[in-house]
Amino acid sequence: MPGKKTTRITKAKREKAAQIAAILDELYPEVPIPLSHSDPYTLLVAVLLSAQCTDERVNKITPHLFALAHTPEEMSAQDVSTIEDIIRPCGLAPRKAKAISELSKILLEKYNGQVPEDWEALESLPGVGHKTASVVMSQAFGRPAFPVDTHIHRLAWRWGLSNGKNVEQTERDLKALFPEESWNKLHLQIIYFGREYCPARGHDPHKCPICSKFGRKELFI
């Protein structure tokens, strides 16, 4: 699991991280979970659907899906084609529908219909990678985790907190930089900040509250 390797951190970078965290705390003292859900299972399904899809679109689709089936038992009883038809607007519908159906059956067969609070068990489920498992562990169970999606990966590079090599390295770097007790809130703060101030396109580093102070020089060329 990413995070077990050590990352060497300079005093200057640690101070920068603390200042960035202070800015995020001021801007986002409270951070609601972006994906609508009612329990660990519906969160797991919503996170799976969010792959290459916006949270906003997922939140429009899941009420229809969960009205049909909102437990592993109910979902297992549905035809994959029925699930696929509902979730089609989220993209990758055939693959996601199959994963939702299969993981629901596994939860019934192996875990008494409950989402396991265990890294290895979660990551072994169909369609569930490390990032999805991290979101569930963090947001459903309150376990320390630092889910790194493409947005957090991008911002960590822009702010000089990681080298941008890959999301695994970014996760290790951020975990080493920030206190463990801040991870669950901080990853959501970064997501909200990225959407409001630091988007992938049309980003003006001069106006960004963080990039204007800590952004890499390449951003200003």
Burial class (CB in 10 A: 0-12, 13-18, 19+), 26: exposed
CA dihedral 92, 95, 96, 98 (to 10 degrees): 150
Burial class (CB in 10 A: 0-12, 13-18, 19+), 92: middle
Q: Which of 5, 11, 79, 149 is catalytic?
A: 149
Tally of CA atoms within 13 A in the half-sphere of 116 that contains its CB:
18
Token pair recorded at residue 62: 């899941």
Our answer to whether residue 39 is catalytic in this structure is: no
CB neighbours of 11 closer than 8 A, spacing ≥ 6? none
Our answer to whether residue 13 is catalytic in this structure is: no
CB neighbours of 154 closer than 8 A, spacing ≥ 6? 194, 198, 200
Q: Which of 16, 96, 131, 175 is catalytic?
A: 131
Nearest one of 135, 155, 153, 154 to 145, comparing CA atoms: 135
Give the catalytic positions in this structure: 131, 149
